[in-house]
Each structure stands twice: as C-alpha cells, then as structure tokens.
Amino acid sequence: MVIDSINNGIVIDHITSGKSMLLYQKLGLDKLNCTVAIIKNAPSSKNGQKDIIKIDTLIDIDLDMLGYLDPGVSVNIIKDGTIASKFIPELPEKLVDVIKCKNPRCISQEEQELKHIFKLTDREKRIYRCIYCESKAK
Amino acid sequence: MRSIIDILDLSTQEIDSLIKTACDIIDNPDKYAEKCKRKKLATLFFEPSTRTRLSFEAAMYELGGNVIGFSAANNSSAAKGESVSDTVKTVSCYADIIAMRHPKEGAPMVASMAASVPIINAGDGGHNHPTQTLADLLTIYREKGGFDNLTVGLCGDLKFGRTVHSLINALSRYSGIKFILISPEELKLPEYVVNNVLKKKNIPYVETTDLIGAMPELDILYMTRVQRERFFNEQDYIRLKDSYILTPDKLETAKDDLAVMHPLPRVNEISVAVDNDKRACYFKQVLNGKYMRMALILMLLGVE
C-alpha cells in the first residue's frame, strides 16, 4: 500500500499497533481540514507491526501528550520534503484534558466546564495526580 | 495575591512566623483589635460546619474586620447550579479574602484559580484542611515549646483522616520526629503517605494496633474517630472499637507532659472523664485555631 510522502507536515511513527485512532482523537486531528493519513498495522522491524499518522501540514498541536499516551512513538517534522527534526516525546509535566479524574468526590466530576489537569509527580513510576484532588491517574 | 489550599503551601519559616504572630496576638490582643478595620472576610461554606466557620468569623471580628457569607450551599447560588469559579469571581467583588469549605475535593483550588482575592481552604471533603493543621501546630508548639525530637502517636482512623495526613506532612519537615501509628489493620495509614512522606524522608515510624503498649513513649497523642462505616463487617468493628477509646485508666502509664489532641468533633473516642486531665488539649486546640486563623488572615492580607 502506498501513501504519498509529505512535503511539509508531521509524521508520528512507531505508534503501538491499534493505538492510532486513540492518538487521532486525543490530538484533535478530526478537527483539521488538511489531509491526514492513518496507517494501521504497517510492518515494523522492531515490533512486527506499528501504526503511523501523517499530517499534511505543519500545525501547532500538543505533541507532548504522546509521551504519556504511547511512550516510544517518534515524531518527525517534515519541511521541504526532508526531516527537519525528529524526537521521541518524553512524559510531559502536565496533561490537560487527556485523561479524566475518576475520583467521584473530585470537583472536576461535578463541574463539567473544568479542564481535567494532571501533574507528573513521579517520573520513574509514571505517576500523574489530579491537580484538584491529588488522586492518582488510573 | 496568594491562597492557602494545602498546609504544604506554607514553608516552615512561614509557619514559624504565623506561630510567632499567633503568640503575640494571645499576649497582646488589643494591638490587633483594628488591624483589619474596613476589611471583609467572606465565609463560603457549601456544607455545614460549627467550629471552622465560627472560628474564621470570630478571628475576623477580633481583628476589627467584618464578615459576609453563607453557611450552606442551599443558601447560595450553588443551589441554582452556579459554578465555584463564578461564585468566587462574584464574591471577590465584595470581600477582601475568602474562606471556603466545600464537599468536593479540589473546589478551593478551583476557586483560587478564578478569584482575585486570597482563598483559604477551610476543608474540601476528605482532602485538605490546612487551618486545622495550623491549629494543631500551634497547640504542639505551646504545649511542647517546639517541634523537634517529639514522639507523636496518631491513633484511630489513619486511613481516611485528612487531619492526620496533613499533620504528618507538616511535622515531617522538622528534625527528630518519630511517629507511632496506632490503628486497626483496616484503617492503617495509606501506603502513599508511608512511601511519599515517611520512607522518602527517612522518618522513623512504628505501626501498631496497641494503644496501651505505645502510651509510655508518647509526647503527643492525636486521637481520631474510628467510624463504624469504615469496617467491612460489624464483628470487626465491635471487636476493635473500644481499643481506641481513650479513658483515664489508659492514660495511667502516659508521660506527665503528654498532650492529648483531637481535631473534634468527638463522638465517643475520648471519654468525657479525660476532659479534666491536665493533659487534655483538644479544647485548647479549638482556641489556638482561632489565633492561627487570625495570623493567617493578617499574612494573606499583607497587614503588618
């Protein structure tokens, strides 16, 4: 299967097979007008299979959350047909509206307009806590 | 503009300074009688409270200020579905400082993000209650002369007791503190407090179910209520409940200068007969709470 290469845009590579739709939704790619390709189950020398997302424009999106949602993905920024930069997102210090607090006693459960914000409290153990009630993210 | 949501929002230096101010208020009340003249405290209590609301209100009146507010959510626009943010943005137009109690955890934090005046967390569900901890700290300071090298027994419900967790956090910043954690197995201190505070800071602690056995070693005994609904079965509750009721005979082996504390309200976990013991400090804690709230209001309003 052939998907055209892009001139200016973002390629999210090495997505765990099956997770591309989750990343598509969390990154808000459904709201874009440009071409976005989701490639599922592409062959991977490392893991056997992987997903890839190609975004055919350079846009400002919260790529940091990828470090939480699927550690190990790589992000390629394409400019003029070549890879201008490549990085593996680290665990972000803060997650905004990526996950929701499950604590029924938390104010974020009652007030629907509130942003769900989590802070990284233990990088080694990958623990995030809700900034309002301090419950651990599950 | 600064808010106090968690006891850890205050450094040990700031707590020392609040204690110093509180002690000065106790010694020279007249000096402070008009410090907050023409200032208004709003007490926004979305759930009922006796001690905390009256303590805040008494504190502001003794500083010469005024108080506005409500004492139940159904007396406020919250009953109409108004958000916490909108409520405090409105109240910020009327008051210089807000003390807020709310049944939902994190509500005062949300308030502090929206308000244009300082917010004091007066209790958010089972989460934080920093001014109770300030009351506890002033009581310990006045009874013991400081915080270093104390053996502190915490007894009862250590799992759900927010005052216990806050006090452990606050005391863990002083040197030579040792904790004796006395509770039924079902109500032990949560692992995250043990790991993130005690183990992380290498603070010595002992976990035991035996209050009488621990008694001789204690400088402070902080009692909390063991509630029936916390147990999985009635038999365990009946078996354990009396072990954690403090009576005069259980105090026989205690030090003469032990300080018995309790955040109140008590139900039956401290026998009324203990009230006459000179080591009972729980009603002093109530009074100390008012002085610390006065000191905190002064600090947050930037009143010298």
Residue B81 CB burial class (10 angstroms; 0-12, 13-18, ≥19): exposed
Catalytic, out of B35, B40, B101, B290? B101
> Is B162 tagged catalytic?
no
Is B80 part of the annotated catalytic residue set? yes
Amino acid at site B113:
M
Average pLDDT, chain B: 93
CA distance B173 to B96: 31
Query: What pLDDT is recorded for position B73?
Result: 79
Question: pLDDT category, B230, cuts 50, 70, 90?
Answer: low
- Chain segment B276-298, per-residue pLDDT in tens: 999 999 999 999 999 999 999 99
Q: What's the pLDDT tens digit per position in B113-159? A: 999 999 999 999 888 999 999 999 999 999 999 999 999 999 998 98
Percent over 70 (pLDDT), chain A: 99
Q: Is the peptide bond before B265 cis (omega within 30 degrees of 0)?
A: yes
Chain B residues inside the 8 Å CB shell of A96: none
Residues in B lying within 8 Å of A, measured between beta carbons? 83-85, 102-107, 109-110, 124-127, 192
CA of B70 to nearest chain A CA: how many angstroms apart?
Answer: 19
Residue with tokens 């979305």: B46
Determine the pLDDT at residue A46. 82
Sign of CA pseudo-dihedral A71, A73, A78, A84: positive
d(CA B274, CA B246): 8
Judged by CB atoms closer than 8 Å, whether chains meet at B126 and A134 is answered as: no
Q: How far is B268 from chain A (nearest CA, A)?
A: 27
State yes or no: is B52 an active-site residue: yes
CA distance A105 to chain B (A): 5
Choice among A19-23, A83-87, B161-165 with the minimum mean pLDDT: B161-165
- Decide if pLDDT at A17 tops 90: yes
Examine the pLDDT at A122 and tell me if it is beyond 70. yes
Tokens 């009396």: give the residue.
B242
| Domain residue extents for chain B | 7-129+289-301, 131-285
Q: B132, B124, B205, B208: which is closest to B164 by C-alpha? A: B132
- What pLDDT does residue A1 have? 65
Residue A62, pLDDT above cutoff 90: no
Beta strand ranges found along A6-116 (DSSP E)? 9-16, 36-44, 48-55, 74-79, 82-87, 94-96
Residue range B46-88, pLDDT digits in tens: 998 889 999 999 999 999 999 999 998 777 777 778 999 999 9
Alpha-carbon distance of B303 to B38, in angstroms, equals: 12
At A111, the amino acid letter reads E
Residue B83 and residue A134: Cβ atoms within 8 Å? no
Q: Comparing B111-115, B158-162, B196-200, B271-275, which segment has the lowest mean pLDDT?
A: B158-162
With vertex at residue A134, the alpha carbon angle to CA A29 and CA B151, rounded to the nearest 5 degrees, is 160
Contact B105 A111 (CB under 8 A): no
Instruction: Compute the radius of gyration of chain B from its Cα atoms.
Output: 19
Q: How many beta-carbon contacts under 8 Å exist across A and B? A: 45
**C-alpha–C-alpha distance, residues A53 and A76, integer Å:** 11
Is it the case that residue B101 has pLDDT exceeding 90? yes
Has residue B208 got a pLDDT over 90? yes
Residue ranges of domains in chain A: 9-87, 94-130
Residues of B in contact with A114 (CB under 8 A): 110
Higher pLDDT residue, A118 or B231? A118
Other residues' Cβ atoms within 10 Å of the Cβ of residue A66: 26
Per residue in B7-28, pLDDT (tens digit) is 999 999 999 999 999 999 999 9
At B263, list the tokens: 């955040």
Which CATH architecture group holds B7-129+289-301? 3-Layer(aba) Sandwich (3.40)
Contact A85, A42 (CB under 8 A): no
Residues in A closer than 8 angstroms to B88, CB to CB, are: none
Residue matched to tokens 């993210």: A137
- Chain A residue at shortest CA distance from B84: A111
Using 50, 70 and 90 to split pLDDT, how confident is the model at A2?
A: low
Are B105 and A107 within 8 A, CB to CB?
yes
- Token pair of A60, please? 């400002």
Q: How confident is the model at residue A6 (pLDDT cuts 50, 70, 90)?
A: confident
The verdict on whether B293 is a catalytic residue reads: no
- Look at residue B8 and give its three-state secondary structure: helix
Cα B60 from Cα B62, distance rounded (Å): 5
- CATH for A9-87 is 3.30.70.140
Q: Residue B209 catalytic? A: no
- The residues near B124 (Cβ < 8 Å, ≥ 6 apart) are A107, B101, B102, B103, B104, B105, B106, B107, B108, B109
DSSP A66: H
From B21, B43, B52, B131, active-site residue: B52
Q: What is the pLDDT of residue B50?
A: 84
Q: Which CATH architecture is the domain B131-285 placed in?
A: 3-Layer(aba) Sandwich (3.40)
Of B83, B84, B106, the CB nearest to A106: B106
Other CB atoms within 10 A of residue B83 CB: 19
- The values of phi and psi at residue B2, to 5°, are -135, 145
Q: What's the whole-number mean pLDDT along residues A107-134?
A: 94
Q: Which of B84, B127, B192 sits opposite A111 (nearest CB)?
A: B84
Residues on A contacting B at a C-beta cutoff of 8 Å = 103, 105-111, 113-114, 130-136
